[in-house]
């Protein structure tokens, strides 16, 4: 007999759940929300000004050069796509496996997915230098003669994969909110709010037929979303893996990228949940230490997978007997960018091992610091893969260094401003916890034993 952990603390009633979750939407947000929103908004404005300058003057303002043709934009694109993976994993896969602990955090994680993918999508457009021609990336009948996209290119399949992932995740997120939006509609005292939430609730009345259709559709969307977790970052990894460049041409990239994406995505969920608990204290009863501990276990496990991938890359480079491949990995660890490699290894492999200790997994300051370090390490992982493989090519005549500029730092920092602005606006206008999913698990762990 195993006693389950309590999923909702504070001895809530159904009315308490509805009132507390609707409160941030129906009343003025707490001061904590404004403390987050003002810096995020300033970051967004800074981001827009930096991007506008780059597009107006040219890509020469950034650090890309010969031989490093892929720089900050592509590194940060892969980083943000990875961040978006935890939302679909928490929502879809854990739903299919009937993991009840997901109910308190799935809505927020799904929102994080949407906004991370939106943030990621801007970077390839900036990288092209001419985003007003971005429609050329789409295969459609055109009047430009036999000018079609290259269907064999993984860059094109990035467009398909990321746009499909965004669309399915957006629909999955929205459908899951319909019962809660109907609750906001019924509680609305303002005519405009009632009209807006009424339109978004799709005529929901909570009837037996409504619930049957809802649960069937939610299950179908969860089934469709699950393979996307694997496919999207696998296709992003093909950008590198199908090239002939030493350090990129490796078959381990698809699973390695997927594990790394889940790793960084869960770290970002932990960061956001801790900030929400601080800024909106009433949410501590729904996002409990137990939720955070389970996510920390996943971070530790995926950190070990990523560490295994780092070690196997060196082994295969040595075992292959290819001089260029061996040199590429020696150069990563001990060349001019050695510092970035060891930041990556330290943040992603060594630091998360502190979660072997239960008191560390349940310590808010510790998990917050670790989650920040993990995402720093995962950005550097993409930097190491991209830059250290490009900056020393087969010919010494092609060797060069990638030098950060103010604009490189500007787009990285500013993109967080965009992400947090969108996320905080979501907290303001939609319920951050799924009331319709939390209420059925209200009594789990309350003095009752369940078979394992």
Q: Which carries the bigger pLDDT value, residue 370 or residue 154? A: 370
What pLDDT sits at residue 452?
Answer: 36
DSSP state of 203: T
Q: CA-to-CA distance for 68 and 335, rounded, in angstroms?
A: 16
Percent of the chain clearing pLDDT 70 (strictly above): 97
Choice between 272 and 149, residue whose per-residue pLDDT is larger = 272
- 117 contacts 225 by C-beta, under 8 angstroms: no
Please choose, from the candidates 227, 228, 226, 231, the residue with its C-alpha nearest in 3D space to the C-alpha of residue 255: 231
Looking at the domain assignment, is residue 438 inside a domain? Answer: yes
Quick: pLDDT tens for 184-207.
Answer: 999 988 899 999 999 999 999 989
Condensed to tens digits (0 to 9), the pLDDT of residues 255-277 reads 999 999 999 999 999 999 999 99
Residue 425 domain-assigned (yes or no): yes
Task: Give yes or no for residue 450 having a pLDDT over 50.
Answer: no
Residues in the chain: 452
Give the model's confidence band at 112: pLDDT under 50 very low, under 70 low, under 90 confident, else very high: very high
Taking CA atoms, 92 is separated from 95, 97, 172, in Å, by: 5, 9, 9
Identify whether 313 is part of a domain: yes
Residue 152's pLDDT is 86
CATH number, domain with residue 361 = 1.20.1630.10
Instruction: Reply yes or no on whether the pLDDT at 27 is more than 90.
Output: no
Q: Are 221 and 201 in contact (CB under 8 A)?
A: no
Q: Are 427 and 29 in contact (CB under 8 A)?
A: yes
In a domain, 402, yes or no: yes
Residue 143 lies in a domain: no
**pLDDT, tens digit, 9 for 90 and up, residues 338-391:** 999 999 999 999 999 999 999 999 999 999 999 999 999 999 999 999 999 999
Alpha carbon of 223 to those of 93, 97, 258: distances in Å? Answer: 8, 11, 18
Distance between CA atoms of residues 241 and 396, nearest Å: 23
Burial category of 229 from C-beta neighbours within 10 Å (exposed 0-12, middle 13-18, buried 19 and up):
buried
pLDDT band at 446 (very low <50, low <70, confident <90, very high): low
> b or e along 52-90 (b: 16 or more beta carbons within 10 Å of the residue's beta carbon)?
eebbeeebebbbbbebbebbbbbbbbbbbbbbbbbbbbb
Q: Kind and range of the H or E element at 112?
A: helix 106-128
Handedness of CA 197, 199, 201, 205 (dihedral sign): positive
378 by Cβ neighbours in 10 Å (0-12 / 13-18 / 19+) ranks as buried
| 1 pLDDT tier (thresholds 50, 70, 90) | very low
Residue 447's pLDDT band, with cuts at 50, 70 and 90, is: low
Task: List the beta bridge partners of residue 449.
Answer: 3
Per-residue tokens: 72: 């900050």
Q: Is position 17 within any domain? A: yes
Residue 445 has pLDDT above 80, yes or no: no
Tokens coding 156: 């094109």
pTM summary value: 0.91
The pLDDT score that the predictor gives to residue 129 is 87
> What is the per-residue pLDDT across 204-217, written as a single tens digit (0 to 9) for each?
998 999 999 999 99
Domain count, the chain: 1
Highest mean pLDDT among 99-103, 149-153, 277-281, 304-308: 304-308
Mean pLDDT of 392-414: 91
Domain presence at residue 240: yes
| Domain of residue 291, residue span | 2-138+148-450
Mean per-residue pLDDT over the chain, rounded: 89
φ, ψ dihedrals at 449, nearest 5°: -100, 145
For residues 412 and 322, give the distance between their C-alpha atoms in angstroms, rounded to a whole number: 35
């Amino acid at each position: 007999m195993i006693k389950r952990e309590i999923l909702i603390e504070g001895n809530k009633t159904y009315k308490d759940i509805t009132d507390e979750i609707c409160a941030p939407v129906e009343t003025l947000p707490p001061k904590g929300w404004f403390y987050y929103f003002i810096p995020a908004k300033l970051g967004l404005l800074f981001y827009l000004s930096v991007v506008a300058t780059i597009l107006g003057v040219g890509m020469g303002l950034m650090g890309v050069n010969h031989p490093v043709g892929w720089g900050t934009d592509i590194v940060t694109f892969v980083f943000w796509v990875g961040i978006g993976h935890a939302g679909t994993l928490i929502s879809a896969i854990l739903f299919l496996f009937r993991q009840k602990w997901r109910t308190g955090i799935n809505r927020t994680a799904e929102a994080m997915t949407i906004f991370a993918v939106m943030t990621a999508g801007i970077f390839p457009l900036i990288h092209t230098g001419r985003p007003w021609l971005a429609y050329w990336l789409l295969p459609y009948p055109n009047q430009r003669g036999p000018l079609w996209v290259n269907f064999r290119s993984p860059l094109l399949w990035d467009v398909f994969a990321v746009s499909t992932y965004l669309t399915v995740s957006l629909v999955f997120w929205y459908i899951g909110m319909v019962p809660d939006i109907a609750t906001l509609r019924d509680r609305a005292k303002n005519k405009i709010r009632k009209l807006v939430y009424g339109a978004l609730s799709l005529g929901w009345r909570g009837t037996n037929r409504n619930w049957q259709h809802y649960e069937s559709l939610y299950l179908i969307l969860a089934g469709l979303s699950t393979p996307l977790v694997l496919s999207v970052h696998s296709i992003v990894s093909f950008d590198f893996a199908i090239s002939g460049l030493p350090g990129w041409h490796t078959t381990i990239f698809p699973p390695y990228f997927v594990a790394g994406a889940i790793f960084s995505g869960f770290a970002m969920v932990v960061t956001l949940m801790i900030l929400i608990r601080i800024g909106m204290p009433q949410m501590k009863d729904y996002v409990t230490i137990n939720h955070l501990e389970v996510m920390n276990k996943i971070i530790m496990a995926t950190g070990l997978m990523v560490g295994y991938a780092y070690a196997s890359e060196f082994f295969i480079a040595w075992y292959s007997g290819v001089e260029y491949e061996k040199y590429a990995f020696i150069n990563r660890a001990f060349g001019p960018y050695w510092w970035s490699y060891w930041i990556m290894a330290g943040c992603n492999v060594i630091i998360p091992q502190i979660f072997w200790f239960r008191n560390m997994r349940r310590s808010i300051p510790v998990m917050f610091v670790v989650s920040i370090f993990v995402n720093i390490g995962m950005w550097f992982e993409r930097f190491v893969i991209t830059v250290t493989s490009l900056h020393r090519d087969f010919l010494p005549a092609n060797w060069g260094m990638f030098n950060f500029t103010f604009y490189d730092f500007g787009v990285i920092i500013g993109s967080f401003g965009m992400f947090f602005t969108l996320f905080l606006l979501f907290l303001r206008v939609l319920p951050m916890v799924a009331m319709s999913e939390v209420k059925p698990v209200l009594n789990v762990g309350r003095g009752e034993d369940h078979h394992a």
